[in-house]
Amino acid sequence: MGKIRFELLTPGELKQELEGNGLVFLPVGSMEWHGPHMGMGMDTCNAYETSLETAKITGGVVFPPFFTGTETPRSPETLKKLGFSGEEEITGMDFPANSLKSMYWPPKLFEELMRCQIGMLCAMGFRRLVIMNGHGADEQVAILDRLAQEAKQRYGVKAAVILPLFEECGYGIGHAGLVETAIMSYLHPEAVELSELPGREVKLRNVDYGIVDNETFGKGPNEDFTVRYDPRDATEEIGKEIMETTIAKCVELIEKL
Ligand SMILES: [Zn+2]
């Protein structure tokens, strides 16, 4: 197996990649609050490690990850689903009770940064582009979808955006909940400290911990606005199982490119 990390390939080796399958992964995520129990780089670590593992199977090279994500203010409707009054001004996962703020880039700047990077990769001669996006915020997803379309039209490349969190993994997905915590426990055990969360007798209210199920964002809350898919159930074994499903799904999607 050849080298996978873009930054370590010599120009000669890069040329060979371009003449070969011409596939490049661009991992991107966020630097964002993921509960008091997890490193803030979760989304990007997931995107990067998934890219590296997938590339071992599909071939291609992986560009260094961008810990750069964007967010927008939440609507009163969403705030109410989370257990807020709806009057608050809250951007992304930056809930008032959090001890630190996330590092959200303004959407326009994020878009321009990604547009330039994608443009340079296409100009170098890559013909298949996989934008591996670990941060599922609506605005981020919309921007990256738009840029993938743009790259297809402008450079004639094949491009796909993949969010490496799949329903098929068999566990309830959410922000900083069971699935993300399990993945991080597997990838970087030192980045998870479950002791930062209260004992099991305490249910985790969304507003107190900044942990929210996708189901709450989508369909709505449970009876007491708490987390359904509990990060305290996360283990490295579950994380390994989820990663295996994720990588298999990514390989399948890339083979279609
Ligand atoms: Zn996340």
**Per-residue tens of pLDDT for the chain, all 257 residues:** 689 999 999 999 999 999 999 999 999 999 999 999 999 999 999 999 999 999 999 999 999 999 999 999 999 999 999 999 999 999 999 999 999 999 999 999 999 999 999 999 999 999 999 999 999 999 999 999 999 999 999 999 999 999 999 999 999 999 999 999 999 999 999 999 999 999 999 999 999 999 999 999 999 999 999 999 999 999 999 999 999 999 999 999 999 98
Which tokens belong to 51? 């890219």
**Collapsing DSSP states into helix, strand and coil, what is residue 23?**
strand
Tokens 């994500």 -> residue:
69
pLDDT score at 1:
62
Tokens 């929210």 -> residue:
212
Tokens 């873009």 -> residue:
6
User: How far away, in angstroms, is 117 Cα from ligand 1 center?
Assistant: 23
What CA–CA distance (Å, rounded) separates 25 from 60?
A: 7
Beta-bridge partner residues of 174:
213
Which tokens belong to 72? 């927008």
Nearest to 167 by CA among 245, 57, 87, 247: 245
User: How far away, in angstroms, is 254 Cα from ligand 1 center?
Assistant: 22
At CA 45, angle to CA 44 and CA 50, rounded to 5?
100
User: How far away, in angstroms, is 228 Cα from ligand 1 center?
Assistant: 16
In one-letter notation, the amino acid at residue 27 is P
User: How far away, in angstroms, is 45 Cα from ligand 1 center?
Assistant: 10
In one-letter notation, the amino acid at residue 30 is S
Q: Identify whether the C-beta of residue 131 lies closer than 8 Å to the C-beta of residue 104.
A: no
User: How far away, in angstroms, is 135 Cα from ligand 1 center?
Assistant: 6
Beta-bridge partner residues of 54:
none
User: How far away, in angstroms, is 12 Cα from ligand 1 center?
Assistant: 36
Phi, psi (degrees; rounded to nearest 5) at 130: -115, 110
The rounded mean pLDDT for the chain is 97
In one-letter notation, the amino acid at residue 92 is G
What CA–CA distance (Å, rounded) separates 194 from 191?
A: 10
User: How far away, in angstroms, is 62 Cα from ligand 1 center?
Assistant: 20
What is 38-255's CATH topology?
Answer: Rossmann fold (3.40.50)
User: How far away, in angstroms, is 208 Cα from ligand 1 center?
Assistant: 17
User: How far away, in angstroms, is 177 Cα from ligand 1 center?
Assistant: 9
